[in-house]
Chain A
């Protein structure tokens, strides 16, 4: 499978990503770029308004999982939708930093896999809105592969 098909298969395996409206595409460098449209349901503070920390953390975790799954798929030879469903990485822990208030705008996120290990992998991800140089939230997560 091509990376684009793979990422599509992994995204389809995550119902919560569909609920949040997350879409994924491959950037010029081949890495996953995710988008999450603005939705009233993602708000935490109605008066500002500002997106909820939980929607941003969820979006980052999905982005990190997709990029890690894409990179691991080459190693594991994930070659079908069924195989993709069985290879969605599992989080061990995530650390999230809220850098700026996120307004009523669409979000874009990218992830960098810092290390793919035999047992665990570490991924850094960040999300921005209108200015890629001003991330609103960042996350570092440790993930393991599901048991075969």
Chain B
């Protein structure tokens, strides 16, 4: 097990079941995103620190775009989950606030929650963090369009696999 192995983060007060599944989208896989937990309208994901994802070679800190991509992918997964894997989703807009500098050589985790689901739009909030979910690196909020096209959602496998080492 390498030093930067992804772990299921401790999320106090949040009812979420550990899962272990790679991203189903090519870009999610490209940044190394994995699904780590599933709850009610809620998803937890993580990605390993990688030198190719760095925003400044001098500092070794992950690029802001990686954080945004992780939040988008995680929130998309939560939207598909919240709609019961029935409809395709597409991001309408999102805002990401970078709360504190990311730390070099550290894995990044993300939770996204669908706080309002309507017939056509899902509203999410999300947080990205290293070790401590109460100290987010970035928070994101945004909306997804539901039934954006005729494709079948393939963001999550359904049903989820149990963790390999459970």
Q: At the interface, yes or no: A72 with Cβ under 8 Å from chain B? A: no
A41: chain B residues within 8 A (beta carbon)? 26-27, 29-30
Residues of the A chain whose Cβ atoms lie less than 8 Å from the Cβ of B30: 41-42, 55
- In the complex, the answer to whether A95 meets B95 with C-beta atoms within 8 Å is yes
**Would B27 and A91 count as touching, CB distance under 8 A?**
no
Q: How large is the interface on B (under 10, 10 to 19, 20 to 34, 35 or more residues)?
A: 35 or more
Verify B53–A94 contact, CB threshold 8 A. no
Instruction: Write out the residue numbers on chain B whose beta carbons fall within 8 Å of the beta carbon of A94.
Output: 64, 68, 95-96
Taking a contact as CB atoms under 8 Å apart, the answer to whether B27 and A42 are in contact is yes
A53 contacts B72, CB within 8 Å?
yes
Within 8 Å of chain B (Cβ to Cβ): is A26? Answer: no
Closest CB of chain B to A91's CB: distance in Å?
4
Chain B residue, CB-CB nearest to A58: B65
Q: Do most interface residues of chain B lie in helix, strand or loop, or is the interface mixed?
A: mixed
List the A residue with the shortest CB-CB distance to B68. Answer: A57
> Which of A96-104, A106-114, A126-134 sits within the interface?
A96-104
Residue on B with the closest CB to A140? Answer: B95
Contact B88 A58 (CB under 8 A): no
Task: Select one of B51, B55, B76, B151 contacting A47, CB under 8 A.
Answer: B151
Interface residues of A in 47-105 (CB under 8 A from B): 47-48, 50-55, 57-59, 61-62, 85-86, 88, 90-98, 101
Interface status of A14 (Cβ within 8 A of chain B)? yes
B60 (CB) vs chain A CBs: closest residue: A15
CB neighbours (8 Å) of A116 from chain B are: none
- Verify if B66 is at the interface (C-beta below 8 Å from A): yes
Q: Mostly helix, strand, loop or mixed at chain A's interface? A: mixed
- With A62-B65, A95-B93, A98-B91 already in contact, the answer to whether A90 and B58 are too (CB < 8 A) is no
Of chain B, the residue at the smallest CB distance from A40 is B26
Whether A120 sits at the interface, judged by CB under 8 Å, is no
Closest 8 CB pairs of A and B: A54-B69, A58-B65, A52-B27, A16-B63, A47-B151, A53-B91, A41-B30, A43-B26
- B residues touching A (Cβ–Cβ < 8 Å)? 25-31, 51-58, 62-66, 68-70, 72-73, 76, 88, 90-98, 101, 142, 148-149, 151-152, 154
Q: Footprint of B on A, CB under 8 Å? A: 12-19, 40-48, 50-55, 57-59, 61-62, 85-86, 88, 90-98, 101
What are some 11 contacts across the A-B interface (CB < 8 A)? A15-B63, A16-B54, A43-B26, A44-B25, A45-B88, A53-B90, A57-B65, A58-B63, A85-B57, A96-B142, A101-B90
